Structures are given as C-alpha cells and as structure tokens.
Amino acid sequence: MYSVAILAGGQSRRMGRNKAFLEWKGRPLIVDLIERFHQISDDVLLIAPNVEPFQDLPVRLILDPSPPVGPLGGLWSGLLGARYEWVFATACDMPLVDPRVVQWLFDQRAGADAVVLIDEQGRPEPLHAMYRVSCLNAIASAMACQQRAVIAFYPAVRVRYIPPSDWRAIDPEGRSWRNINTPEEWEKLQRELQKGE
C-alpha cells in the first residue's frame, strides 16, 4: 500500500483561478481526483499553503512549509505526513490521472527510492511519481541549499527512470500526467473529450 499526496500549492497565475476547482464532469476537479485516488489508497493527503478552501473534502490536509519553498516543500510535507513507506506525489492539475498507471509505477519500485517517468522530450515528470519516505533527508538538504525544484534532490537518491519505451505499454499517449496550465489548454482538453479522443 502507498499514500497519495496531492500538491495544490501553485498560484495558478496562467490559469487565472484555482485549478483545483475547475469544473470537471459537473463538479470541481479536485473532488474527482480525490475520489479516484481513494480507489487505490486509504491515505490521501492534500498539501497547500492555505487549506481552508479544501476543508470539506474527504482528504487529510497538510500545510505547505512556511515560508513556502515551492513544490519541493510540498513533496517534503507530503512524505513527512504519509502513513506508508511509499507516496505517489501528483499535482492538482492532472485531470486524466489514471489509477492503473499509478499502481504500475508502484510495481516498478524495487531497488529504488523514487520511480519517475521520462516524457517524450526526455524530461522527468516529478509530480506524477512514486517516492519513498526515505527521501526526506535528501529533500531537507536540498531545501537547506535554497533549492525549490522537485528534482533537486535526485542526485542524492536512487531514482528509477521509466522511459517512454516502457510506459507506453500502460499509457500509450502519456495522458495520465497531462497537466493543464492555461484556459486555452483547458478548453482544448474539453473539446478533445467531447470528440471522444
């Protein structure tokens, strides 16, 4: 079993409103995500600098570090608060996240401290990834050096990178970690879904 940590600390500047509360299938996106994650874990956490908007949701709420240190701080808080040894860390702006892909990532964990997908452009997907709680010390060291990027601590731990040649078997188009940053991207996704793409 593993915990799920949803990072909801972004300021959504490009979207212009809180992405967690975009309407998705007739309800807030975050409600749909939490329901999906409860299918695969009995320990779902939401990490944000202000948890008040999320008070009524069936999720454990955890405050971002203060002062904020970006998504790396959110990951640190999620690992610190998790009940299980492994944590799936994700952002609140991935509406197509697939529980089957999450479970598949967990199954790739042998011999690693982190399991991270590599996208088609060769970049890691650090907020659709599995992390072992043992990463906490490495994350703390990175934050102490004023690092904010999630990947800052990777050189200090054992990372298993999953290349496209492997993940295409479970998610051929990489839909599970498709994130939405702008109103235009959101509208495009809505149109695609309406067409059944």
- pLDDT tens, residue by residue, 31-57: 999 999 999 999 999 999 989 999 999
Distances (CA, A) of 177 to 62, 81, 101, 158, 167: 23, 23, 10, 22, 12
pTM metric for this prediction: 0.93
Cβ count within 10 A of residue 22 = 19
Rg of the Cα atoms in the chain: 16
**Residues 111, 160 contacting (CB under 8 angstroms):** yes
**Phi, psi (deg, nearest 5) at residue 100:** -65, -40
Instruction: List the CATH code of the domain at 3-194.
Output: 3.90.550.10
Instruction: Give pLDDT tens digits for 139-166.
Output: 999 999 999 899 999 999 999 999 999 9
- pLDDT beyond 60 at 130: yes
- Where helices occur in 45-144 by DSSP H, the ranges are 70-81, 99-107, 136-144
| Cα(43)–Cα(37) distance, integer angstroms | 9
The mean pLDDT value of the chain amounts to 91
Q: What is the maximum alpha-carbon separation in the chain?
A: 48
Q: How confident is the model at residue 19 (pLDDT cuts 50, 70, 90)?
A: confident
